[in-house]
Structure 1
Amino acid sequence: MVEEVSTRSGAHLSVEGVTVQFGGLTALSDVGFEVRPGQVLGVIGPNGAGKTTLFNVVCGFTRPQQGRLTLDGQVFRPAPQRLVRSGVSRSLQGLGLFPGLSVLENIVAGGGSAARTGWWSGLLALPRTDRDERRLHERAGALVDELGLGAYAHAQPGTLPYAVSKRVALARALVSEPRLLLLDEPAGGLGHDEVLELGELITSLPSRGAGCSVMLVEHHVDLVMQVCDELVVLDFGRVIATGVPEVVREDPAVAEAYLGAEVDAS
C-alpha cells in the first residue's frame, strides 16, 4: 500500500491486466495502460464501455478480481479515504459538494488535513496542525482567485450555477496539490466557452506547482483531443486502441466503436 509520497513531480500510475466482473458480466477484461509523470491521459469509449468501472477501480470504489495497480513503482491498493495521503485526488461526475458548507469551506475540505498531519497531531493541536491548516486555507484562497470564484466564496452550493459548481469541485480536488488528478466527466453540462476554459486549465496542470499527472474520463471528444497527450479507448470492457489523439482518431476500430459521427463531421 502506498503511503504519503513525495510531491516533486507528477505521479506514474500503471494499470496492469485489470479484470472486473459483476456476477456473469465482465465489465473490464485485461485492461492495462500507464499514466506517466506530467502526462494528461484520456480514457474514452461509448456508453457501457467500462469507463466508469475503470475510474472506480483507480479511486478504490471497486476492487478488481484480477490485475494490479502500481503508483511510482509501488503496489497501489487505493481506498477513497486514503487517496489524498497517496498524493491522488479526484473530481467526480456528480460534484458531491457539501450543502452545509460555503464554497471556500468545500474547497478546504478537499485538503484532507487530518490524513496529512496525522491523527495524533490533530487531536493534540500540535503546531504542525496549525501550520498545515494555514497553508491549506492559503491554497484554497489562491484557487478561489485562480478559478474566478471570488464572488461565490461564501455562497452555499445550492445557490450556484452548474458551471460554477463544476469549478468548485475542481478546486476542491486541486487544493491538496495532488501528483495524480482523476477527473470524471469534468465537461458534462458545460457550454462551449466553459469547455474551452476547462481545457486551458487541464493543460496547465502538469506544469503547475510540483507537477501533476492527469487521468481524464470524458465523453466530450473535442476536449480530449485538445488536452490529452495520449488516449486509451475502451469498448465492451477491453482496450481497443491507445496512442496520441491524432492516431487514435483515425483508427477504424475507434471510429466504428465510438467516434464515427464526430470523425465524419470534422
Structure 2
Amino acid sequence: MNIETHVTPCDGSRSGAHLTVQDVTVQFGGLTALSDVGFEVRPGQVLGVIGPNGAGKTTLFNVVCGFTRPQTGHLTLDGRPFRPAPQRLVRSGVSRSLQGLGLFPGLSVLENIVAGAGGAARTGWWSGLLALPRTDRDERELHDRAAALIDELGLGAHAHAQPGTLPYAVSKRVALARALVSEPRLLLLDEPAGGLGHDEVLELAELIMSLPSRGAGCSVMLVEHHVDLVMQVCDELVVLDFGRVIATGTPAVVREDPAVAEAYLGAEVDV
C-alpha cells in the first residue's frame, strides 16, 4: 500500500487547544478496555488514533467527550484539569462529530448546524431570558457562521431540508458543519470517513488539513479506520491494541513499526 504522508510540524506558532491524556485506565466489569493510555494533542496538531476492532478507540473517544469516566488517570486542557461532560464541551472550546450522525430529525439542515453552538446557553442564561440586544446580535452572528459553513461545505441546496431526506454523504457534511459552527479550539472526530466514497474522502481530507489554520486555530483528534486518510492528514498517530498504546509517532514512523503492521494491518501487509 503506497501512501503519501502529510506531516505539518507544530512549531509553536499555531493556535488551538492543548489536550493531554495521562495514565487513563477504563474497566467494564472484568474487562480492561484501556490500560494506562497516555498521549497529547498539541496546539494546531491533527492527531489520529488507530487500531484494530476492539482496540479501545471508541472508549478513548468517549473518555475525551465525557461519556465514559476512567477509573484512573486524568486529562488536562491547556494545562488545566479537564473533566469533560457532553453538555459542557462547547463552553470548553471543544466540539465533536460522532460516528452516528446524531442529527435532529425535526430540524432543518440550517437549524441542525445552529444547534451545534449550544443555542442561547452560549450567550448566557440571563441574556437569553431577558432577550437583551446582545442575544439578538449573537444569534445573528451564529446564523451568519452557519450560512458560511453551508456555502463552504456545498450544502446550499439542502439548507432547509430535513435530515431524513438527505443522502448519507450530505448528512456527514451537515454533522461536520454542526461541529464547526461553535468555532472549537479542539475538534473530536469519530470515524468521519465512514460510509464515504473515494472522492468524498479526498474532500474530507482537504477539510481536515485546513482546520488548524481555521479562525483562531483548531487542534484535531481523529479516530478513524481509513488508513489512507489518517496517513495523509495526521501530524502524529497513536496506535492502540487491546487497550494499550503500542506505537506513537509521525505516519512515516508508525507505518514502519512491525508491531503496528502485525496488530493493526496484518503481518503480511506493506504499509
How far apart are residue 166 of structure 1 and its match? 0.2
Q: What is the rounded CA distance, in whole Å, between the counterparts of 1:124 and 1:6 in structure 2?
A: 42
How far apart are residue 261 of structure 1 and its match? 7.0
Stretches of structure 2 that go unaligned for 5 or more consecutive residues are 1-10
Question: Structure 1 residues 47 and 241 mapped into 2: Cα distance closer, same or farther (>3 Å)?
Answer: same
Structure 1 stretches of 4+ with a deviation exceeding 4 A read 5-8
How far apart are residue 198 of structure 1 and its match? 0.1
Q: Secondary structure at the match of 1:239?
A: strand
How far apart are residue 127 of structure 1 and its match? 1.6
CA offsets per residue over residues 192-227 of structure 1, 9 Å max, x none? 000000000000000111110000000000000010
Higher alpha-carbon deviation: 120-129 or 24-33: 120-129
**1:194 has 2:204 as partner:** no
Question: Structure 1 residues 8 and 38 mapped into 2: Cα distance closer, same or farther (>3 Å)?
Answer: closer
Identity %: 92
Question: Structure 1 residues 6 and 40 mapped into 2: Cα distance closer, same or farther (>3 Å)?
Answer: closer
Stretches of structure 1 that go unaligned for 5 or more consecutive residues are none
Instruction: State the superposition RMSD in angstroms.
Output: 2.2
Q: TM-score, normalised by structure 2?
A: 0.93
Contact 1:7-1:179 within 8 A present in 2 as well: no
Question: Structure 1 residues 177 and 217 mapped into 2: Cα distance closer, same or farther (>3 Å)?
Answer: same
How far apart are residue 263 of structure 1 and its match? 3.9
How far apart are residue 52 of structure 1 and its match? 0.2
Question: Structure 1 residues 61 and 7 mapped into 2: Cα distance closer, same or farther (>3 Å)?
Answer: farther
Question: Structure 1 residues 127 and 64 mapped into 2: Cα distance closer, same or farther (>3 Å)?
Answer: same
Contact 2:14-2:43 within 8 A present in 1 as well: no
Q: TM-score, normalised by structure 1?
A: 0.95
Q: What is the rounded CA distance, in whole Å, between the counterparts of 2:81 and 2:161 in structure 1?
A: 41
Higher alpha-carbon deviation: 185-194 or 108-117: 108-117
CA offsets per residue over residues 110-166 of structure 1, 9 Å max, x none? 011333211111111112211111110000000000000000001100000000000
Contact 1:84-1:115 within 8 A present in 2 as well: no
Question: Structure 1 residues 261 and 185 mapped into 2: Cα distance closer, same or farther (>3 Å)?
Answer: farther
Higher alpha-carbon deviation: 109-118 or 83-92: 109-118
Q: What is the rounded CA distance, in whole Å, between the counterparts of 1:260 and 1:90 in structure 2?
A: 30
Q: What is the rounded CA distance, in whole Å, between the counterparts of 1:112 and 1:86 in structure 2?
A: 12
